[in-house]
């Protein structure tokens, strides 16, 4: 198949396969949303209160449909009537739709190994990670498809769905502010604008509470491990995950490039993390296993025993549980942190 | 005793098989007709089946409505029509076209290079196409080039550029035989593969797209893409078929071909160009699909012998059959890569033929 070596299987293909598997692993962990290709504005990642939302859609009393919305890729999407049959192609959208009270309108969803809420489990899967079954989606006769941007849903699939007349709203949150905007966008697309504004506001309040609680604390150098089965994967520069760590009161150690998720061990040793967080704890990685890795014993975090598991899904998934995610992240970085009771919004 | 009693029926079956082989060799046209009937049946089957169950009557009614404008009085949903006409039709026909294109290109390259392991990708087209696609994917803006898409356009151009460079470079060396061409193809292909590996390393979120291109498939098939690629494939294939005798001559070796009155250099360049055009058009719509181009011509040769006049048309029909079948299998099994299915279906069949082969052939 490969050009250069039709006979002996070239090592390139194996390498490519491994790379794809690893990328898929990262995407599973991060829902693909931490991958950033666009240049993203960094809302002054100092842990202070977030700037207020720029888009404040008034819950319009006038008929909400037909509506024309601009999605995260800048496409104008016309939705003629309030959607009754929705296909959700990102795990976060599925969570948002349920949180907005329209989960029962989802007729098809993306594969998700950590499906939430449980009610979403029985909904048929019509897409996997990086794949999308166009025929199955068209067969469901949806009146709205919410797809993932930045190549999470294959762009050709989005194009095909639009070509047969199905409105496709593409969401992609490279930063926390866009998560709030996407919730409101999803609300307007599904006739739940007021609920969406309320949900975004309560999330924002949770974020502000964490930011306030961590404002005066020391900011330890934090390495958030996404995967280390082969190479070591962590947050890219200016990525969503790096922003979350900063908001939770940590100083994120990043890969050194906005496009790379792999961090060389030498760079990590030089950065000397004071806290190592295990986003791959769900895959069986333990603090003991990390401490036993060759070369890691020189890091402050390993010597101090500051290696802690995290619940990766709620931290990296840009959905309604992100407030809980930030709280858990702040507690993982500052175990003694005194946070106000949950649901601060 | 046992040896003789076991020997008799074995000899008898062998005779029957030999007769069948003889019939196939003598009547390649009848065999071609038979394979085309199978292809027609497979296309009907592949349009009828998919992830979503659509009643055969509805599929027929939609087809009659769209193809011939005949109204049967039946009604169907807009979704059914979109699935049958906008998704399945272009996909199945693209699979048939790509299968035919890769098989005919494979037969051409094998004959031209006199190398049984040659396939349509052997002279760098695959690496060129893949690198083209990767570069297109790394360009942050999404541009549509006449309904074709930047990825497809770049893959097409990349494949043709690669083969052009290979051909030009091989002519620079004083020793300009087919071996030099093959080795130049290998060297250029390796360079391009290194570029591809680098592009994949830098690709971030687009890695999956590049990987999908490397695996190949027909998910992206649309009517406009088919309409652009089909004329290229038809023209290239017709040109190759026109030169079947020349290809037979070239298979005897350069000297022998020259004695037969073949302008070796010119004809070789033309056949190379036609084969590459067909390959590039196929690769642009489907990505890199392996196996078909390498194995289908051999299957055909095992049945009808090595004459290009029989091998080329039969490879076209058989290649189309294999990919239509493989794509149907891939869709029914949940959109797994079509190259996986074609190899899973084709390789055992090929091994079976090899084991049963009475007489071989040399390229």
pLDDT in tens, A28-60: 333 333 333 333 333 333 434 444 444 444 444
pLDDT at residue A266, as a whole number: 87
Which of A85, A135, A155 has the highest number of chain B CBs within 10 A, making it the mutation to test binding with B?
A135
Q: How far is A104 from chain B (nearest CA, A)?
A: 21
Residue ranges making up the domain that contains B318: 94-356
Task: Delimit the CATH 3.40.50.1980 region(s) of chain A.
Answer: 67-191, 217-345
Asked, for residue B20, whether it belongs to a domain, the answer is no
pLDDT in tens, B2-35: 444 444 555 555 566 667 667 777 788 889 999 9
Q: How confident is the model at residue A19 (pLDDT cuts 50, 70, 90)?
A: very low
Question: Do A139 and B52 make contact, defined as CB atoms within 8 angstroms?
Answer: yes
d(C-alpha B223, C-alpha B88), whole Å = 10
d(C-alpha B133, C-alpha A331), whole Å = 45
Closest CA to B316 of B38, B41, B96, B47: B96
d(C-alpha B283, C-alpha B115), whole Å = 22
Between B90 and A22, where is the model more confident?
B90
d(C-alpha A325, C-alpha A310), whole Å = 9
**Nearest CB to A133 within list B186, B193, B335:** B335
pLDDT at residue B143, as a whole number: 58
Asked, for residue B13, whether it belongs to a domain, the answer is no
Mean pLDDT is lowest, of A17-31, A141-155, B7-21, B57-71, for A17-31
Closest CA to B324 of B30, B29, B40, B31: B40
Question: Do B88 and A135 make contact, defined as CB atoms within 8 angstroms?
Answer: yes
Mean pLDDT is lowest, of B13-27, B60-74, B86-100, for B13-27
Question: Do B127 and A4 make contact, defined as CB atoms within 8 angstroms?
Answer: yes
Mean pLDDT is lowest, of A32-41, A104-113, A281-290, B262-271, for A32-41
pLDDT at residue B144, as a whole number: 56
Asked, for residue B65, whether it belongs to a domain, the answer is no
Residues B309 and B244: beta-carbon distance below 8 Å? yes
Q: How far is B260 from chain A (nearest CA, A)?
A: 32
d(C-alpha B295, C-alpha A188), whole Å = 54
Closest CA to B46 of B298, B344, B338, B360: B338
**Nearest CB to A141 within list B77, B119, B123:** B77
Between B353 and B224, where is the model more confident?
B224
Question: Do B140 and A135 make contact, defined as CB atoms within 8 angstroms?
Answer: no
pLDDT of A122 over the 90 cut: yes
d(C-alpha B55, C-alpha B47), whole Å = 11
Q: How confident is the model at residue A62 (pLDDT cuts 50, 70, 90)?
A: low
Token pair for B38: 């199978």
pLDDT in tens, B254-264: 888 888 888 88
> What does each C-alpha distance from B358 to B16, B111, B140, B301, B355 come to in angstroms?
12, 21, 56, 12, 9
Question: Does residue A141 belong to the interface with chain B, where contact is any CB pair within 8 Å?
Answer: yes
d(C-alpha B277, C-alpha B108), whole Å = 12
**Nearest CB to B214 within list A16, A138, A139:** A16
A217-345 adopts what CATH topology? Answer: Rossmann fold (3.40.50)
**Nearest CB to A138 within list B82, B124, B193:** B82
pLDDT at residue A51, as a whole number: 46
**Nearest CB to B208 within list A23, A134, A139:** A23
Q: Spell out which residues of chain A touch residue B212, defining contact as CB-CB under 8 Å.
A: 130, 154
Question: Do A1 and B124 make contact, defined as CB atoms within 8 angstroms?
Answer: no
Q: How confident is the model at residue B251 (pLDDT cuts 50, 70, 90)?
A: confident
pLDDT at residue A121, as a whole number: 93
Give Cβ neighbours of residue B3 (< 8 Å, ≥ 6 apart).
Answer: none
What CATH number corresponds to the domain at position B206?
1.10.3470.10
Region A270-281 average pLDDT: 93
pLDDT at residue B9, as a whole number: 55
Question: Does residue A35 belong to the interface with chain B, where contact is any CB pair within 8 Å?
Answer: yes
Closest CA to A34 of A194, A149, A189: A149
pLDDT in tens, B174-226: 776 778 888 899 999 999 999 998 888 887 777 878 888 888 889 888 898 89
pLDDT in tens, A65-87: 899 999 999 999 999 999 999 99
Q: How confident is the model at residue B354 (pLDDT cuts 50, 70, 90)?
A: confident
Q: Spell out which residues of chain B touch residue A165, defining contact as CB-CB under 8 Å.
A: 78, 82
Q: How far is B121 from chain A (nearest CA, A)?
A: 5
pLDDT at residue A261, as a whole number: 85
Asked, for residue B266, whether it belongs to a domain, the answer is yes
Q: State the ipTM, two decimals.
A: 0.74
Which of B205, B225, B332 has the highest number of chain A CBs within 10 A, making it the mutation to test binding with A?
B205
d(C-alpha B219, C-alpha A186), whole Å = 28
d(C-alpha A314, C-alpha B136), whole Å = 34
Which residues 247-286 of A are in CB contact (within 8 Å) with B?
Answer: 259-261
Decide which of 3.40.50.1980, 3.40.50.150, 3.30.930.10, 3.50.50.60 is the CATH code for A67-191: 3.40.50.1980
Task: Count CB atoms within 10 A of the CB of residue B53.
Answer: 8
- DSSP category for residue B87: I
Asked, for residue B323, whether it belongs to a domain, the answer is yes
Alpha helices in chain B (DSSP H): 2-26, 28-48, 56-63, 78-81, 89-113, 125-138, 150-172, 178-202, 207-215, 223-242, 244-251, 254-259, 264-286, 292-304, 308-332, 338-356
Which of A1, A3, A30, A87 has the highest number of chain B CBs within 10 A, making it the mutation to test binding with B?
A3
Q: How far is B291 from chain A (nearest CA, A)?
A: 7
pLDDT of A245 over the 80 cut: yes
d(C-alpha B261, C-alpha B263), whole Å = 6
Q: Dihedral sign, CA of B351, B353, B357, B361?
A: negative
pLDDT at residue B339, as a whole number: 84
B142: alpha, beta or left? (left if phi > 0; alpha if psi -120 to 50): beta
pLDDT at residue B16, as a whole number: 67
Q: Which residue of A has its CA nearest to B162?
A: A3
ω into A117 cis (within 30 of 0): yes
Token pair for B110: 């094998």
Residues A164 and B82: beta-carbon distance below 8 Å? yes
d(C-alpha B67, C-alpha B61), whole Å = 10
> What does each C-alpha distance from B107 to B129, B244, B351 come to in angstroms?
20, 10, 18
Residue-averaged pLDDT of chain B: 86
Q: Dihedral sign, CA of B24, B28, B34, B35?
A: positive
d(C-alpha B342, C-alpha B327), whole Å = 8
**Sheet with A307-309, edge to edge strand ranges:** A251-252, A221-225, A275-278, A307-309
pLDDT of A231 over the 90 cut: no
Question: Does residue A14 belong to the interface with chain B, where contact is any CB pair within 8 Å?
Answer: no
Q: How confident is the model at residue B292 (pLDDT cuts 50, 70, 90)?
A: very high
pLDDT of B295 over the 50 cut: yes
pLDDT at residue B260, as a whole number: 84
Phi, psi angles (nearest 5°) of residue A171: -115, 140
Question: Do B219 and A156 make contact, defined as CB atoms within 8 angstroms?
Answer: yes
Q: How confident is the model at residue A63 (pLDDT cuts 50, 70, 90)?
A: low
Which residues 43-82 of A are in CB contact (within 8 Å) with B?
Answer: none
Q: How confident is the model at residue B151 (pLDDT cuts 50, 70, 90)?
A: confident
Q: Which residue of A has its CA nearest to B124?
A: A3
pLDDT at residue A53, as a whole number: 46
**Chain CA centroid to CA B153, Å:** 19
**Nearest CB to B193 within list A3, A35, A261:** A3
Question: Does residue A341 belong to the interface with chain B, where contact is any CB pair within 8 Å?
Answer: no
Q: How far is B155 from chain A (nearest CA, A)?
A: 13
Question: Do A3 and B128 make contact, defined as CB atoms within 8 angstroms?
Answer: yes
Question: Do B149 and A152 make contact, defined as CB atoms within 8 angstroms?
Answer: no
Region B277-299 average pLDDT: 91
d(C-alpha A307, C-alpha A287), whole Å = 5
Q: Spell out which residues of chain B touch residue A6, defining contact as CB-CB under 8 Å.
A: 117-119, 121-122, 294
Q: Which residue of B has its CA nearest to A8?
A: B117
Residue corresponding to tokens 């961090």:
A263
Mean pLDDT is lowest, of A284-288, B15-19, B124-128, B318-322, for B15-19
d(C-alpha A96, C-alpha B48), whole Å = 37
> What does each C-alpha distance from A316 to A27, A226, A290, B73, B240 come to in angstroms?
10, 10, 21, 53, 55
Region B272-300 average pLDDT: 92
> What does each C-alpha distance from A2 to A6, B82, B96, B190 come to in angstroms?
6, 35, 21, 10
Question: Do A259 and B212 make contact, defined as CB atoms within 8 angstroms?
Answer: no
3-state secondary structure chain A: CCCCCCCCCCHHHHHHHHHHHHHHHHHHHHCCCCCCCCCCCCCCCCCCCCCCCCCCCCCCCCCCCCEEEECCCCCEEEECCCCCCEEECCHHHHHHHHHCCCHHHEEEEECCCCCCCHHHCCCCEEEECCEECHHHHHHCCCCEEEEECCCCCCHHHHHHHHHCCCCEEEECCCCHHHHHHHHHHHHHHHCCHHHHHHHHHHHHHHHHHHHHHHCCCCCCEEEEECECCCCCECCCCCCHHHHHHHHCCCEECCCCCCCCCECCHHHHHHHCCCEEEECCHHHCCCHHHHHCCCCHHHCHHHHHCCEEECCHHHHHCCCCCHHHHHHHHHHHHCCCCCCCCCCCC
Between A52 and A148, where is the model more confident?
A148
pLDDT at residue A194, as a whole number: 94
Task: Count CB atoms within 10 A of the CB of residue B157.
Answer: 17
Asked, for residue B61, whether it belongs to a domain, the answer is no
Region B279-305 average pLDDT: 91
Task: Count CB atoms within 10 A of the CB of residue A60.
Answer: 11
Environment class of B241 (CB within 10 Å of its CB; exposed 0-12, middle 13-18, buried 19+): middle
Q: Which residue of A has its CA nearest to B288?
A: A1
Residues B84 and B59: beta-carbon distance below 8 Å? yes
pLDDT of B142 over the 90 cut: no
Question: Does residue A7 belong to the interface with chain B, where contact is any CB pair within 8 Å?
Answer: yes
Q: Spell out which residues of chain A touch residue B127, defining contact as CB-CB under 8 Å.
A: 2-4
**Nearest CB to A135 within list B83, B142, B201:** B83
Residues B106 and B294: beta-carbon distance below 8 Å? yes
Q: How many domains does chain B have?
A: 1
Rg (CA), chain B: 22
d(C-alpha B151, C-alpha B199), whole Å = 14
Token pair for B276: 């590459």
């Amino acid at each position: 198949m490969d050009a250069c070596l039709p006979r002996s299987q070239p090592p390139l293909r194996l390498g490519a396969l491994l790379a794809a598997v690893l990328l898929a692993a990262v995407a599973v962990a991060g829902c693909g949303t931490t991958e950033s290709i666009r240049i993203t504005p960094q809302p002054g990642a100092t842990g202070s209160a977030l700037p207020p939302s720029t888009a404040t859609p008034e819950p319009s009393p006038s008929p909400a449909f037909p509506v024309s919305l601009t999605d995260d890729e800048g496409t104008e999407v016309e939705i003629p009537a309030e959607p009754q049959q929705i296909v959700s192609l990102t795990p976060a959208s599925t969570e948002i739709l349920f949180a907005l009270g329209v989960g029962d309108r989802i007729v098809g969803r993306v594969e998700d190994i950590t499906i939430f809420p449980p009610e979403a489990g029985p909904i048929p899967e019509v897409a996997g990670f990086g794949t999308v079954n166009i025929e199955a989606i068209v067969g469901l006769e949806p009146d709205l498809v919410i797809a993932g941007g930045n190549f999470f849903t294959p762009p050709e699939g989005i194009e095909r769905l639009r070509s047969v007349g199905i409105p496709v709203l593409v969401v992609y949150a490279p930063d926390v502010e866009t998560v709030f905007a996407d919730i409101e966008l999803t609300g307007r697309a599904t006739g739940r604008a007021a609920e969406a504004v309320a949900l975004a506001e309560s999330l924002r309040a949770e974020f502000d509470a964490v930011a306030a609680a961590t404002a005066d604390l020391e900011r330890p150098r934090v390495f958030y491990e996404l995967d280390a089965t082969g190479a070591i994967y962590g947050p890219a520069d200016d990525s969503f995950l790096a922003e979350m760590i900063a908001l939770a009161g940590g100083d994120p150690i990043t890969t050194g490039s906005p496009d790379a998720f792999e961090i060389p061990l030498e760079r990590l040793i030089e950065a000397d993390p004071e806290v190592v967080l295990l986003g791959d704890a769900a895959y069986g990685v333990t603090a003991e296993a990390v401490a036993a890795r060759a070369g890691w014993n020189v890091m402050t975090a390993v010597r101090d025993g500051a290696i802690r598991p995290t619940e990766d899904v709620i931290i990296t998934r840009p959905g309604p549980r992100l407030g809980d995610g930030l709280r858990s992240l702040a507690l993982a970085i500052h175990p003694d942190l005194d946070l106000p009771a949950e649901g601060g919004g | 005793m046992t040896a003789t009693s076991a020997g008799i029926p074995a000899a008898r079956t062998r005779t029957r098989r030999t007769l069948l082989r003889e019939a196939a060799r003598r009547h390649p046209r009848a065999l071609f007709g038979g394979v085309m009937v199978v292809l027609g049946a497979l296309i009907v089957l592949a349009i009828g089946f998919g992830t979503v169950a659509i009643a055969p009557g509805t599929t027929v009614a939609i087809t009659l409505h769209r193809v011939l404008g005949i109204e049967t009085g039946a009604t169907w949903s807009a979704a059914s029509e979109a699935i049958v006409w906008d998704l399945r039709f272009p996909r199945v026909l693209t699979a048939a076209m790509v299968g035919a294109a890769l098989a005919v290109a494979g037969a051409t390259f094998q004959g031209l290079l006199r190398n049984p392991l040659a396939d349509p990708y052997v002279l760098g087209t695959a690496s060129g196409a893949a690198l083209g696609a990767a570069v297109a994917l790394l360009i942050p803006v999404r541009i549509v080039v006449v309904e074709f898409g930047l990825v497809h356009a770049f893959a097409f151009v990349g494949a043709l550029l690669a083969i052009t460079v290979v051909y030009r470079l091989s002519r620079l060396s004083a020793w300009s035989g087919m071996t030099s061409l093959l080795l130049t193809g290998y060297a250029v292909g390796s360079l391009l593969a290194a570029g591809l590996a680098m592009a994949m390393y830098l690709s971030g979120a687009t890695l999956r797209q590049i990987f999908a291109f490397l695996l190949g498939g027909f998910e992206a098939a649309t009517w406009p893409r088919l309409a652009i690629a089909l004329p290229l494939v038809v023209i290239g294939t017709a040109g190759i078929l026109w030169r079947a005798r020349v290809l037979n001559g070239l298979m005897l070796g350069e000297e022998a071909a020259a004695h037969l009155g073949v302008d070796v250099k010119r004809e070789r360049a033309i056949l190379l160009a036609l084969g590459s055009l067909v390959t590039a058009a196929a690769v642009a719509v489907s990505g890199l699909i392996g196996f078909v181009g390498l194995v289908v011509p051999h299957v055909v040769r095992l049945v009808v012998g090595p004459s290009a006049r029989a091998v080329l048309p039969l490879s076209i029909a058989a290649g189309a059959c294999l990919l239509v079948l493989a794509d149907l299998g891939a869709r029914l099994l949940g959109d797994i890569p079509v190259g996986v299915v074609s190899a899973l279906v084709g390789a055992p069949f090929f091994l079976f033929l090899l084991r049963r082969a009475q007489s071989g052939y040399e390229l």
